[in-house]
Structure 1
């Protein structure tokens, strides 16, 4: 009798949770004072959510916290720095790095010959840099098998991440500043109204069943927080579409080629339109890094990029 009673209770709990989960799934307009329009919250059936806003998206997971209350937890990057690399036969004894996101905080790069050498840190952008224009790519003399990055965060011990780059010489590095890190939040659902605070609510609408928008939302919600492979053209413009739709892999060039639009030498273009040329795409793979805490470094006076409004 006790076993039957426990089974019934568990079934009722699962049914209640399933009902709660079904209730929250939907589309909510969060509103905004921005002239570009408000943001929207997509709550998906698989425990994922996506918030869209002007200029970007926030992705994460949700779960039932207690009756009518749900916890939304945004995805966050595990590491402040992520490095992706490939071998570029055309630059031989040089090393190229494209810097992404380094304008957000004081951040540094060091190239040293071995792990026992002192760190000589080059600040990526000057202090109070402004009026940015992308991309920011620098070529260094390759005399190292290690690239190191660090950010100076006030009140926090300085941490350096070392990347072993043996066999690679063309890189894209991302810096994810902790200053802009997003945090979990709670929301309450009552009578198909979602309250993120007690004074404002958003009415629930059903999720779209078809169309490019909902396909994009579902695809981005299921992406890994850190991707193992990135696709970029020779001018460091991110290719985000299906690479197999129109491109084929060329072993000689070690690149994906769009046969309809590629012309021999497109990878060497330096004209104004080269950034938008997606006829040849390179594959960059995620490099493995290891963190250390160290105060054994020297900062050079001159930054790599001096960026100021005229």
Structure 2
């Protein structure tokens, strides 16, 4: 009998192997990028990435006969994180993030349910922080689904939480259901010898054409694989906590190189806490010098009894409206108003000497020329500058530009840098495809966040990079830089580039 079972097992294994190998061959055969500015990437491990403008959704796919079935990685509808904040005493504070995106409700303890935001709410200005004198032993978050075809027929959910008594500071996150997170199907077709992937939810009948893996596409594919690697690594560990400053701005996990941990208070203090005081006074939302750890809470119940709007109250905890309304609009009160220093107490803004003009190369972008339309097609992490370095009384780092005239005869930089070399992870010198010298700056976790915000705030403006008390570049920021690195090429020799790199590395 054992021999019969063994033979059956061997037969099953041998029979399954060709089918499994055939599936793997299909994954390898069809792996690639389908589409241009929007589309889908198929990976040979059965994973996919749906991408578009400001959208990147990952998930898994499988073959079913001639069709493909796609299962997306959906975010949780609600996420709740809690912290024991000794500064609050007996009161409770809650930050609502994303709740303005839908018709959401909240119920505290045994009180009546309330809308989070009023009807026809507009003029949103986060953070939205609610404070109450009572201690919360239970609260419920509810959502009424929108009348859209892809979300019809599903019950309106209510998630109930019963936090431990020690918690009095909360971050509540609402991830509104979106069409791109719906599961979908697809089918391959061939048109004029090219492979087309037709999705059931996007792209219409035309579908998305599989891109030819030329040199440029191969480079983009490598970047896509790097994004996928980072995403896969982030999914291997369950998120049990988030880190935020006192204004509820989220930051990456603090590392021991840059932060000292206070385990008793679940707080992390920056080792450079005394630096850039002036900068953080005017950029309080970005202040990362003290971070609090918020622990993720598991809901006690995910009620599917189809909550209706009749169960909620007419009033809302936040009232936001442009212009005059029925009551004073919500305004966040957490930012501190500092008295401006007297003129003689301010750090003087240094006016630099004249900056010489250059003959421009039509194949490159010169700071002195009007910005051409083609700059919008440039990669955000590749910056070209033809500005000759000129002296300035400023320490090394990235600066906003307070004042500049057309020929650079008068340039005024901000008193303090927005980022310093302490925000850099690495600075190296490379050689480009046209033998030009390129300085690559990769930011550390904190620096990447700061530079993304810095570049976002400066879109449409020029910024300055100072090294060795010289402005070495003043590039135009075309769009936010989100990849955590930039490549700088300009009007300098290999020796000059190496000297700049050495200078910037010196601070690390």
Q: If the TM-score is normalised by the length of the shorter chain, which range does it land in?
A: 0.7 to 0.9
Which residue, 287, 306, 323 being the options, matches 1:277? 287
SS at match of 2:88: coil
Going from structure 1 to structure 2, the CA distance change for 1:163 and 1:263 (only over 3 Å counts) comes to: farther
**More relative contact order, 1 or 2 (CA 8 Å, 6+ apart):** 1
- Name the structure 2 match of 1:239: 251
Deviates more, 1:4-13 or 1:177-186: 4-13
CA shift, 1:302, in A, is 2.8
Conserved 8 A contact 1:108-1:149 = yes
CA shift, 1:200, in A, is 3.0
- Spell out the pairing of 1:196-211 with structure 2 (5 A cutoff): 196-197=198-199, 198-204=205-211, 205=213
The answer on 1:227 being equivalent to 2:239 is yes
Conserved 8 A contact 1:94-1:141 = yes
- Name the structure 1 match of 2:170: 171
Aligned equivalents of 1:60, 1:182: Cα separation in 2: 9
TM-score, normalised with respect to structure 2: 0.50
Going from structure 1 to structure 2, the CA distance change for 1:240 and 1:24 (only over 3 Å counts) comes to: farther
Going from structure 1 to structure 2, the CA distance change for 1:209 and 1:102 (only over 3 Å counts) comes to: closer
SS at match of 2:293: strand
Task: Compare the two structures and name the one with the higher strand fraction.
Answer: 1
CA shift, 1:230, in A, is 1.6
- Spell out the pairing of 1:139-158 with structure 2 (5 A cutoff): 139-153=131-145
Conserved 8 A contact 1:39-1:52 = yes
- Spell out the pairing of 1:33-112 with structure 2 (5 A cutoff): 38-67=37-66, 69-78=67-76, 80-112=77-109
SS at match of 2:57: strand
Conserved 8 A contact 2:57-2:180 = no
CA shift, 1:181, in A, is 6.4
- Name the structure 2 match of 1:133: 125
Which residue, 98, 112, 122 being the options, matches 2:114? 122
Going from structure 1 to structure 2, the CA distance change for 1:10 and 1:151 (only over 3 Å counts) comes to: closer
Aligned equivalents of 1:139, 1:43: Cα separation in 2: 46
Aligned equivalents of 1:89, 1:209: Cα separation in 2: 48
Going from structure 1 to structure 2, the CA distance change for 1:233 and 1:51 (only over 3 Å counts) comes to: farther
Going from structure 1 to structure 2, the CA distance change for 1:86 and 1:24 (only over 3 Å counts) comes to: farther
The answer on 1:309 being equivalent to 2:307 is no
- Name the structure 2 match of 1:195: 197
Task: Compare the two structures and name the one with the higher helix fraction.
Answer: 2
CA shift, 1:150, in A, is 1.4
Q: Tell me the alpha carbon deviations over residues 151-184 of structure 1, each in whole angstroms, 9 at most, x when there is no partner.
A: 2347765543221112111111112333656322
- Structure showing greater Rg: 2
RMSD over aligned Cα atoms: 3.5
Aligned equivalents of 1:39, 1:181: Cα separation in 2: 12
Aligned equivalents of 2:256, 2:218: Cα separation in 1: 29
Q: Tell me the alpha carbon deviations over residues 200-231 of structure 1, each in whole angstroms, 9 at most, x when there is no partner.
A: 33224476599766433322245449732222
CA shift, 1:141, in A, is 1.5
Unpaired runs of 5+ residues, structure 1, are 32-37
Going from structure 1 to structure 2, the CA distance change for 1:298 and 1:188 (only over 3 Å counts) comes to: closer
Going from structure 1 to structure 2, the CA distance change for 1:180 and 1:279 (only over 3 Å counts) comes to: farther
Aligned equivalents of 1:217, 1:244: Cα separation in 2: 27
Aligned equivalents of 1:43, 1:210: Cα separation in 2: 11
Unpaired runs of 5+ residues, structure 2, are 1-6, 147-152, 200-204, 324-508
Q: Tell me the alpha carbon deviations over residues 5-31 of structure 1, each in whole angstroms, 9 at most, x when there is no partner.
A: 866543322221111011232233x34
Going from structure 1 to structure 2, the CA distance change for 1:248 and 1:202 (only over 3 Å counts) comes to: farther
Aligned equivalents of 1:298, 1:13: Cα separation in 2: 53
SS at match of 1:249: strand
Going from structure 1 to structure 2, the CA distance change for 1:6 and 1:95 (only over 3 Å counts) comes to: closer
Count, aligned residues: 291
Aligned equivalents of 1:65, 1:242: Cα separation in 2: 44
SS at match of 2:86: coil
Aligned equivalents of 1:304, 1:219: Cα separation in 2: 38
TM-score, normalised with respect to structure 1: 0.78
CA shift, 1:241, in A, is 6.1
Going from structure 1 to structure 2, the CA distance change for 1:158 and 1:182 (only over 3 Å counts) comes to: closer
